[in-house]
Structure 1
Amino acid sequence: MKFQPAIASIIPEEALNKQWNKWLKRAPLRPTVVNRTLSPITNLLFDYPPEVRRHLQLTIDYYLSHGTLPILQQLRDSFDSSQQQSKSTTSGIASIPGIDVVGCGYDIFNLSSKNCLLDLTENDKNTWIDANNNGHIYKIPDGFFVLSQTDLLTTYGTTSFSNLSELWQNSFYAIEHDSWGFFGFGASHSRREIIEQYRYKLAWTRQQVHLYTLSISSFPIPRLHKLARLAISKLPSSFDPRSTEIWKQFFDAYGTHYVIRSDIGGLMLGEDYFESCLIEKYNETWIRDQLSIRYWFFGSINEQSEQHTLKVDKIFKQNSISILKLIGGQDFVDVYDKQKWLSTVKNRPQPVSYQLAPIYTLLSEGPQRKALEQATIYFRSSAVNESTPYIQRLQNSPFTSPLPKLECSVAQLRKKRAKVQ
């Protein structure tokens, strides 16, 4: 028999019971760990993008199986193998991708999905056949429907934004049944992104693949999930701004809005930040040309062969920050091989747009709906009131730009032109 913590003296057999009682008294004074609950380290990366967590988990799985760290190609092969194995061992019909977003809550402050609100009860009769993926069959929950695309709808273009309001209203988001529109949208977004979006001009170059649209029916509204129903029933029937803790708990769990529709597919997104005076020194056409060269692999085959021989202007390279993001498909595929990425989107589509509505619109007219509406407006106003002073200080405070200083004043531009002449 072994005791933890150890007993200093050797225990004779006849004194075991006595020493046992002695140990029971000593144990609380010097406790020790007797069991452990383990969790993957990927769970620590909860605020990182899903593709980062997935890449780390694939690396861990490979190391545990092979005893060595993988190279990128080995990770790709391992992922493809696991996908095939999953398909061959999964019994029955899978749920349609996107069901973990559509019908679920959405935090408009942090731009993140929350717990699902609607009942996702499925039956084998309510199905959808994906004609773009070898006739794969998916189950659809009651009250949901799918709008199919007869072929792969691919869109490509570049859009520039001057402020966050333009960004939200012309990007991936739309809001219905909400007179407050985009008020409070992104108010608690990451500080780094706020700095980039307020200090610089932003241009988006996107290649979007639209496979299908997943929506919930507007009438009759699908049933609430039993946990969401219970959570709403616990909310007060009137809103008191002096007592907001229970409302905060609800919004932390479900957000202020929910997703009523989403385009499902894939997205290649290039974000480019640059000083606004770069447009004054050159022009918007020149910047678009530089972006089309930088993202040559977004275009068609003919465009790719033409643009691949060109090089991004050194001036634009030095005076811009470029970030490439992938949504849907394999996130560690060679981004320059667009056709290979497109082929993976069919098996791993993700939401690329969000049509939102306030959660209180799910409730019937009455005191509880009114209270939830008032609480929603209060928290949106609070988020804006907290972020506005920060943004004002950000705009007025000294800033060390990672980009070179551009000569953009009228006097400097005239002086430069005079030297050229």
Structure 2
Amino acid sequence: MANLSVLCLLVSLLHLAPLQACRVGKKEECDRAPFVPGHNLVGEGFDVVTLQRKGAYVTDLQTYLTPTNTCTLCSNRLMGNQAQKMPLTVLDWRPSSTCRQSLSSFFFNSVSSLLASSSLSITNDWKVDLGLQRVADQQLAGSQSAEVIFASSQQQEDKTSFITHQLTCSHYRYRVPWVPPLSPEFHQHVKSLPHKYSNDTAYLYRHFIDTYGTHYIHQVNLGGKFKRVTSIRTCLSTLNQISATQVENCLSAGLSVGLGQVEASVSSDSCRKVLNNQDSVTGYTQGFLNHITEVSGGNRWSGVFSMTQNDSEGFHRWLSSIKKNPEIVSYSIRPLHHLVKSTTVRLNLQREIRAYVQKNGLPKEPEPQTCGFDHPNLSPNCCPLHTHRGWLTVTVARAWALHGKLLGPPEGYVKVFYGGIEQRTAWIKSYDPIWHAQFSYGHVDTTQQLSLQVWVKGWWWKEDHLGGCVVSIQRGNHYHDCWMNQGVFSYSYSLQCDPHLIGPKCNMYWPIP
């Protein structure tokens, strides 16, 4: 019996333990106490299209006194057990530290795959009761977020892949009631919405969405987040013989060095190229990497630091500051129309939210093109492996005023040389032969020279060389006359560079989406 009593006491203590950090406070100490950190980061309007808070609140987060002039005071163990007050609408507040200071990294080969990851901070099914669960051909959440806008702009310029690096610390969590008390402003705005929905009244609902968004934040985890999204010019990195995996590994190492998580060491040549964003093959001045950085919570740390040496002072100040000034790192959201009592207005708002989300959705991209291993100078991701490569076609047109050692019209032909390959026109007996012979040399190295020679039959079945021309080929279509001691002949050639190559010798990089 004594053992049973002890067991019951232990169970009771376990249930009370989380509650003992909070108590009822009197008005004087309530007025004096600060709010819990991030007390106003829940119950706020939220736009699921941009993944941004709207700064307009659907519930009252400033009232903390009950009708009896008391409040809830909680001891914050993350801030020296300081007593802090909670708004009346906040429930289940608690410190809950989870801080992974090591960076996580992920590779994405398209904007679509990056977009799919950008909404992972939403911890619930945000599509509930919006009729969007079966939308399969569009990506909706985050379609106009900052990182997706950045990624789309990069993809419009060039063939691009992406890498994200992220570090997240979570320190607090809490929620608002399932049906929270509405803020006066939100309540009045809802009441002003017309019951009749038409082309003439739809703008009022759109204005409501512009103000409050599509959802409200119901539950949050607060802390800080550092996230860096890097775009890679896929084909420029391929030309530099740097793979996406190398870029990811080098950036991970550089970021870890800068944040003071690992000791700086001598980097490989490829990592130096990555960290210096240096194209050493074509001299492309914009480099092959671009990035944006997002820092949430804490002080005004920019997230900019050296990646070749320990430059972590600002980072550690930021880490220390997010306990006092946290931001949302993950959250659950509910559609705003759930807060509307009028059935007619609720359905109208639901309809307008659904239309707004779908209008801003992005079509799902097809899988990136692959080229296998059968194409010369193309990697499996369809990028050139080397510069100075292209496709060459030579056309020998005709000649005028040819003369040989034999009496009468000479019998002549033209030899064409490129890259060790010789091709010939047919023999034609004429002072002014017309060949119109076209020769394909296929895929060539543009650093070599094109040579053309005119030959005619001589004495005793010998061939006499009348002359010729040697030319250094360049990109494009070119037409030439070759003057010899005895006559002239005309020819042309066409050099088409491999994809992503440009310049006279196909030696420069050309961004192509």
Report SS of the residue matched to 1:141: coil
Aligned to 2:40: 100
| Aligned equivalents of 1:97, 1:279: Cα separation in 2 | 47
Instruction: Render the CA deviation track for 1:53-106: whole Å, top value 9, x for unaligned.
Output: xxxxxxxxxxxxxxxxxxxxxxxxxxxxxxxxxxxxx96122233333311101
What's the offset of the Cα at 1:194?
3.3
Aligned to 1:328: 297
Flag the 1:143–1:195 CA change in 2: closer, same or farther, 3 A.
same
TM-score (norm 2): 0.52
What's the offset of the Cα at 1:370?
1.3
What's the offset of the Cα at 1:158?
0.6
- Percent identity among equivalent residues? 18
TM-score (norm 1): 0.62
Letter matched to residue 339 of structure 1: H
Instruction: Render the CA deviation track for 1:177-223: whole Å, top value 9, x for unaligned.
Output: 524268543444565553036653221111211111232233xx111
Aligned to 1:122: 64
Aligned to 1:205: 165
Flag the 1:411–1:324 CA change in 2: closer, same or farther, 3 A.
closer
Aligned to 2:183: 225
Q: Does 2:271 correspond to 1:271?
A: no
Structure 1 vs Structure 2 CA RMSD: 3.8
Aligned to 2:127: 178
Flag the 1:131–1:357 CA change in 2: closer, same or farther, 3 A.
same
Flag the 1:274–1:240 CA change in 2: closer, same or farther, 3 A.
same
Instruction: Render the CA deviation track for 1:325-349: whole Å, top value 9, x for unaligned.
Output: 3222222487622433322222222
Alignment gaps of 5+ in structure 1: 1-89, 396-405
Instruction: Render the CA deviation track for 1:356-414: whole Å, top value 9, x for unaligned.
Output: 22111223582221111111112223334xx77xx99xx9xxxxxxxxxx975658338
Aligned to 2:353: 376
Report SS of the residue matched to 2:168: strand
Q: Does 2:351 correspond to 1:345?
A: no
| Aligned equivalents of 2:383, 2:117: Cα separation in 1 | 35
Aligned to 1:36: none
Letter matched to residue 161 of structure 1: F
| Aligned equivalents of 1:165, 1:357: Cα separation in 2 | 24
The answer to whether the Cα contact below 8 Å between 1:116 and 1:254 also exists between their aligned partners in 2 is yes
Report SS of the residue matched to 2:360: helix
Letter matched to residue 252 of structure 2: S
| Aligned equivalents of 2:383, 2:234: Cα separation in 1 | 17
The answer to whether the Cα contact below 8 Å between 1:267 and 1:328 also exists between their aligned partners in 2 is yes
Judge which range, 134-143 or 158-167, deviates more.
Answer: 158-167
| Aligned equivalents of 1:166, 1:411: Cα separation in 2 | 20
Letter matched to residue 148 of structure 1: R
1:136 equivalent among 52, 61, 82? 82
Judge which range, 196-205 or 288-297, deviates more.
Answer: 196-205
Aligned to 1:358: 335
Report SS of the residue matched to 2:384: helix
Flag the 1:229–1:347 CA change in 2: closer, same or farther, 3 A.
same
Instruction: Render the CA deviation track for 1:212-248: whole Å, top value 9, x for unaligned.
Output: 1232233xx1111111111111112343245311112
Report SS of the residue matched to 1:230: helix
1:376-415 superposed matches below 5 A? 376-384=353-361, 410=382, 412-413=384-385
1:215 equivalent among 175, 179, 187? 175
The answer to whether the Cα contact below 8 Å between 2:59 and 2:181 also exists between their aligned partners in 1 is yes
Flag the 1:357–1:183 CA change in 2: closer, same or farther, 3 A.
farther
Letter matched to residue 259 of structure 1: I
| Aligned equivalents of 2:341, 2:273: Cα separation in 1 | 58
